[in-house]
Every structure is written in structure tokens, then in C-alpha cells.
A and B are shown apart, each in its own frame.
Chain A
Amino acid sequence: MLRYANPTRFLQLSSALVPWLGAASAALFAIGLYLGFRVPPDYQQGETVRVMFIHVPAAWTAMMGYGLMAAASLVGLVWRHPLADTAARAAAPLGALFTALGLVTGSLWGRPMWGAWWVWDGRLTSFLLLEFLYLGYIALWNAIEDEARAARVCAILALVGAVNLPIIEFSVDWWTTLHQGESILRKGGPLISSVYLWPLFTMALAYTFLFFTLWLLRIETEILRRRARNALLAEGP
């Protein structure tokens, strides 16, 4: 693993992986959308059940993104490896986007089903907090000029914010929420019919692969920018 912490080796591996990950994501999106629009309407939710195929994957990917950002931050903080800091920083805007998509699609699903665009229940509020954590992390990076210091401060924020992940996950068990309880990844198996699970898991994989494709590309971009900056500095005034 540490072998690939070298930027040059990382670029080689990433360049080889990105086309495959991107192609796999595109294929999974095509299959997931096809399956998602072929399933019959739900007997209670009607056609709105189809929002699940984009809302749940966006929410899962947003949480996975934060987990990865926190893990990279920990590595950066403990081993002081610049590539780990770069990886953490590169994940933040993507995580913020997926969180925003989870919030917007959730609201568009909630309005016809609950009669409200938004409620301040445990799940929704903790998920909104995730968005603020991402945005705060990005703002903090941009506010501190010294990169090494910015990386350290942001890593601490990312690690403290990671406490929010189990809160999001278990909020529906801990508090009475309008948001439905855990119905997919639960002990005793999913409560959802397999008819809906196939398109859901296919779309979840598509979102995950897309996240990794974009994440690797963003890390590559940052490595190249640093090299350009160093080349400029080497040239001198």
C-alpha cells in the first residue's frame, strides 16, 4: 500500500484504473436506470419509489466519502504524508456534492410522501450537518495559507466530524423520526422486495465507482498542480 503513496507510482496506478472505473460506472448507470424504470410502481408509494434509486445511493456515497476523507486525514496526521492530505482534500467537494444530491432528492421524495419538504428529525438534521462539515472543511482549507498547517487543522476537523457518521446511521433507531427506519442493511435481511433491491444496489455501485473515478482524477490534478508550482519555484524570478 505504501508503495503507492509515492506520487509517481500513484499516478501510474491511477491512470490505469480511472478508465476502467469510469467505464464500469457508466455501464452500471445504464443498467441501473434501465432496471429502475422497469420495476412496477410500489403499492403504497406509487411512482415515487423510483426516487429511492438515486436518493439512497447518493446518501451512502456521501457517507462513504466522509469516511474516506477522515481515514486519509488520520493517515496524513499520523504519518505526515502529503498524498494522504491531498486525498482528503480531493474527497471533500465530491462528498459535499453527493450530500447535496441526497438532501435535494430526499426532499423531493419527502414532499409527496410526508407532505413536507423538510422536517427537523434526527436523520435529516444529522445529514444536513454532514453537508456543513464538508463545506466547513473546504472553507477552512481555503482560509489557511500555509498548506501543512491547513492540512493538520482540517484533518482534526474531519476526524471530529466523523462522530456524525454513526449518528446518521443510528439516528432512526435512537430517536423517533419521520424518516423510515433501517430497511436495507439490517439484521434479519432487507424489508424491501428484491424487485427494488436490484436496481438500488446497481445504482449504489454506479455511484460508488463514479466517486472513486472522480476522486482519483482530483488527486491526480492536485499532484500535477503541485509539480507545476514546484517547477515555477525552481525556475526562480
Chain B
Amino acid sequence: MNGGDYGFYVWTAYGVSFAGLAAAIVLTVLGRMRAAKALEKLK
């Protein structure tokens, strides 16, 4: 779909959602990995 006259709104909404969710996933997973690594180091 090209969205016709409203393509800008539809694609921007999907783009913003994708960017927000992707950032949340990456930051959460990195935070979890860092915490595990820090604990491992102390042990």
C-alpha cells in the first residue's frame, strides 16, 4: 500500500512505533547482559 494522500501519517506512525519498540528491546537486553556480566565478574 502507498497510503494515498495519507501515506505520510501511516508510515510515520509505523516508523515511530518500530523505532520505539526496537530501542526498548535493545536497551533491555543490553542492560540484562551487562548486569549478568557485572555479577559474574564479582564472583
A, B bound: yes
Chain A interface (Cβ within 8 Å of chain B)?
Answer: 37, 41, 46-48, 50-51, 54-55, 58, 94, 97, 100-101, 104-105, 108-109, 111-112, 210, 214, 217-218, 220-222, 224-225, 227-228, 231-232, 235
B20 touches A48 (CB 8 A): no
A7: shortest Cβ distance to chain B, in Å? 12
Distance of A97 Cα from B24 Cα, bound (Å):
8
Q: A101 — which chain B residues lie within 8 A by C-beta?
A: 16-17, 20-21
Interface residues of B in 1-42 (CB under 8 A from A): 1, 3-7, 9-10, 12-14, 16-17, 20-21, 24-25, 28-29, 31-32, 35-36, 38-39, 42
Measured CB to CB, the nearest residue on chain B to A33 is B14
Instruction: Give the residue of A47, A97, A108, A109 whose beta carbon is less than 8 angstroms from that of B1.
Output: A47
- Beyond contacts A214-B25, A222-B35: 15 other A-B pairs, Cβ-Cβ < 8 A, are A46-B4, A46-B6, A47-B6, A50-B1, A50-B10, A51-B10, A54-B14, A97-B21, A104-B13, A111-B9, A218-B32, A224-B35, A225-B38, A228-B35, A232-B42
Q: In the complex, what residues of A have CB within 8 A of residue B29's CB?
A: 217
Contact (A37, B1) CB under 8 Å given A47-B10, A217-B32: yes
Q: From DSSP, what is the main secondary structure of chain B's interface residues?
A: helix
Q: Total number of A-B contacts with CB less than 8 angstroms? A: 87
Is the pair A94, B10 in contact by a Cβ cutoff of 8 Å? no
A220 to B28, CA, bound (A): 10
* Residues of B with C-beta under 8 A to A51: 9-10, 13
Q: Which of A100, A218, A232 contacts B28 (CB 8 A)?
A: A218
Chain A hits for B25, CB < 8 A = 210, 214
